[in-house]
Amino acid sequence: MPEAPIKISSGYLPTESSVVFPIDKSRKSKLKTFLHLICIAGAVWATSSYYKGYRHDPQALTNVFTSQPHPATCAQADPLIPEKHGELWALLSTAISSSDFQLKAVDWLSRAVQIPTESWDDMDPVGVDPRWEVFEPFQKYLLEAFPLVHSTLKLTKVNTYGLIFEWEGSSPELKPILLAAHQDVVPVEPTTIDKWTHPPFSGHFDGEKIWGRGSSDDKNGLIGVLAAVETLISNEFRPTRTFVLAFGFDEEASGLMGAASMAPVLLDLYGKDGFAFIVDEGAGFGREYGTIFATPGIAEKGYIDVHVGVTSAGGHSSIPPDHTSIGILAAMLVQYEKYPFELSFNRDDPLFRTLQCFAGYGNDMPDEFRKLIIASAISDKALHKLTNDISNNIELKSLIATTQAIDMIHGGVKANALPEQAYAIVNHRIAVSSSLADTEARDTELLKSLAHDFNLTYTAFGQNIVGGDSPSKGNLTLRDAFNDALEPAPVTPTGSDDAPYQLFSGTIKATYNSHRSLEGTDNIIVAPGMMTGNTDTVSYWDLSPSIFRYNHQNAGNTTLLEVKGIHTINEFIEIDSFLEMIRFFVILILNSDESTRL
């Protein structure tokens, strides 16, 4: 790919408007013109040589262009400490650091974990399936644990178990803030219980960690928000801005009963884009390339489960055709894995800014990788090479590209009977730069030639694609397996003029410093992040253009892509990390309440 022309407006190269060619025919003018051209040529040559000198040091080139110590694409907000509420914050900061508060925090989260609020994919509606009833004791516990929240905030229950708390501010003209979390947890596989260090619903505290399902996903977020609000109320804080807490109850089962039912209620109450911003569960912070980075999720990939179904004539297996439905399906699945989605990466992708931040601030990033990332901001050739490098990194590629995973397969009922049908489920996570339509079109085209080769009547997503030659030997059908396909989420604005992102970034930095008694701006670097999965915010897109999927959970010295038993055995959270999470929500509420820019 050819290198893109570099457009510079800071005086290093002459612009078209600055190049004047005199048209006077006099000798003097001709001489001036000649000298002028020589000067221009010299300036271009000098600047070109100057650029070539930096060609192998893109960091230096970036510094020249921006006059900043780090790339302009990763400009950082300053730590944002509450000012109007400064005295209250100083008091609460000291309180959160106390041993008494730690004991209270352990009790809050441990007891929440002890109630097994599991949600399952196959649950019938609320009121029909008795498994929903586990949320009754959980909500009784919340009432007992957070009495001031329940007596101060207005509570609306949606679809029985969805909880919307409204903390009304004194200035209704200010846009409210929505803090979301979910009450449910991923079920524990019974065969794995003996592999847990402590029983999965024990809420055991070993003096350092709280163990159990939900401790890290997402009862820590839910209890963290409630603990922050309870603490603020107990210290006589009364908000100027309205705050709304929204707690769904089936996020782990796509949120169809919880958040999907709650969103219309919130939309009716506050209107489209009625919230200044939304915070839901998501990434935290950890060490990446030798530097602490926080990566609030500003986007989510789309989603579709594609049902790939083949039908053919049955019969006795002693007289088989050349290809059974299972054999044909196998060929289709081989085709999928032979031709994965190609990676498309450009400068508008949210992860481009993430990589720029890693390159600008990652102390231990290999020099060649750093130079390549920074050069990619101005060079198409470097961007092409970076894309190729990402293609070989499964973790980065999974964040950017549309992915596919064959997760389920079924066919046949007896060893001596030809299977009349067979199907598989192919899961796609759709790239932010793509769409449902693009994904469906690609899958449709992928299997078109095979449908013809096997003489199948081919229907894809409701359209007739190939009619089998008469007589057709069977059918191939592609469709949305569970009717819950989802477009990629809108991307949250993260510019220097986007007040929600700046406030959110400044709060992250202030929390990190406060929890460690640090001073300075760059102890933690905030970079826009990307979620590989989806949260309850899929139902909340119409409520605000600014959505942050972030829990301020400390990943410690692990990388940001590692987790602490989430969705598997031995889930836990360190008590220090949980206390810092509560601190974060306290500062966020105070900062949001006194902001005049939101």
CATH of the domain at 329: 3.30.70.360
Q: Report H helices in 235-270.
A: 259-270
Token pair of 407, please? 């997760």
Q: Are residues 181 and 263 in the same domain?
A: yes
Which is nearest to 486 in space by CA: 446, 428, 527, 525? Answer: 428
> Omega into 57 within 30° of 0, i.e. cis?
no
Query: Residues 313, 270: one domain?
Result: no
In a domain, 442, yes or no: yes
Same domain flag for 433 and 551: no
Give the model's pLDDT for residue 309.
Answer: 98
Last residue of a domain, one of 488, 515, 550: 488
- Asked whether residue 590 is domain-assigned, the answer is yes
Cα(first)–Cα(last) distance of the chain, in Å? Answer: 42
According to the annotation, is 252 in a ligand binding site? yes
Q: Could you confirm whether 562 is annotated as catalytic?
A: no
- Which pLDDT value is given to residue 294? 97
Provide the CATH number for the domain around residue 119. Answer: 3.40.630.10
pTM for the whole structure: 0.85
Which are the contacts of 177, defined by CB distance < 8 A and separation ≥ 6? 241, 242, 243, 244, 275, 276, 277, 278, 279, 589, 592, 598
**With contact defined as beta carbons under 8 Å apart, do 529 and 551 qualify?**
no
Let me know how long the chain is: 598
397 part of a folded domain = no
Strand 177-182 to 243-248 pairing? parallel
Task: Give 216's contacts (C-beta < 8 A, 6+ positions apart).
Answer: 553, 563, 564, 565, 566, 571, 572, 573
* Residue 206 located in a structural domain: yes
User: Is 567 labelled a binding residue?
Assistant: yes
Specify the pairing of strand 525-526 against strand 291-294.
parallel
| Residue 217 known to bind ligand | yes
Look at residues 429, 457, 488 and tell me which one is the last residue of a structural domain.
488
For residues 123 and 189, membership in a common domain is answered with yes
Integer Cα distance of 110 and 212 in angstroms:
8
Distance CA 353, CA 73 (A): 6
Tens place of pLDDT for every residue, the chain, 598 residues?
433 333 323 322 233 333 333 334 333 343 333 334 333 333 333 333 333 333 344 444 444 333 333 445 799 999 999 999 999 999 999 999 999 999 999 999 999 999 999 999 899 999 999 999 999 999 999 999 999 999 999 999 999 999 999 999 999 999 999 999 999 999 999 999 999 999 999 999 999 999 999 999 999 999 999 999 999 999 999 999 999 999 999 999 999 999 999 999 999 999 999 999 999 999 899 999 999 999 999 999 999 999 999 999 989 999 999 999 999 999 999 999 999 999 999 999 999 999 999 999 999 999 999 999 999 999 999 999 999 999 999 988 999 999 999 999 999 999 999 999 999 999 999 999 999 999 999 999 999 999 999 999 999 999 999 886 778 899 999 999 999 899 999 999 999 999 999 999 999 999 999 999 999 999 999 999 988 778 999 999 999 999 999 999 998 776 544 567 888 899 999 999 999 999 999 999 999 999 999 9
Mode of pairing for the β-strands spanning 277-288 and 177-182: parallel
Residue 516 counted as domain residue: no
For 203, half-sphere exposure in the C-beta direction (CA atoms, 13 angstrom radius) is 14
Query: In 3D, which of 153, 180, 217, 103 has the Cα closest to residue 568?
Result: 217
What's residue 563's pLDDT?
Answer: 60
Residue 460 and residue 590 in one domain: no
CA distances from 42 to 8, 10, 46, 50 (A): 17, 18, 6, 12
Q: Is 24 a catalytic residue?
A: no
471 and 542 inside one domain: no
Q: Are residues 482 and 578 in the same domain?
A: no
Catalytic residue among 118, 218, 230, 251: 251
- In a domain, residue 504? The reply is no
Displacement of CA 419 from its chain's centroid (Å): 41
Q: Are 219 and 112 in contact (CB under 8 A)?
A: yes
Tokens of 8: 């510079």
* 432 and 467 housed in the same domain: yes
Do 95 and 238 sit in the same domain of this protein? yes
Structural domain count of the chain? 2
Residue 53: how many other CB atoms lie within 10 Å: 11
Neighbours of 516 (CB within 10 A): 10
Amino acid residing at 234: S
- For residue 316, list its beta bridge partners: 417
For residue 205, give its domain range.
Answer: 86-277+533-594
Cα distance between residue 225 and residue 505, in whole Å: 18
Q: Is residue 111 part of a domain?
A: yes
Residues 109 and 196 reside in one and the same domain? yes
Residue 182 in marked binding region: yes
Amino acid at 142: L
Other Cβ atoms closer than 10 A to 347: 13
Burial of 593 (0-12, 13-18, 19+ CB in 10 A): buried
Contact 138, 238 (CB under 8 A): no
**In-domain check, residue 69:** no
Which position among 118, 166, 184, 580 bears the catalytic label? 184
Task: State the DSSP code for 449.
Answer: H
For 404, phi then psi, to 5°, come to: -140, 140
Asked if 248 and 324 sit in the same domain, the reply is no
Same domain as 175, residue 248: yes
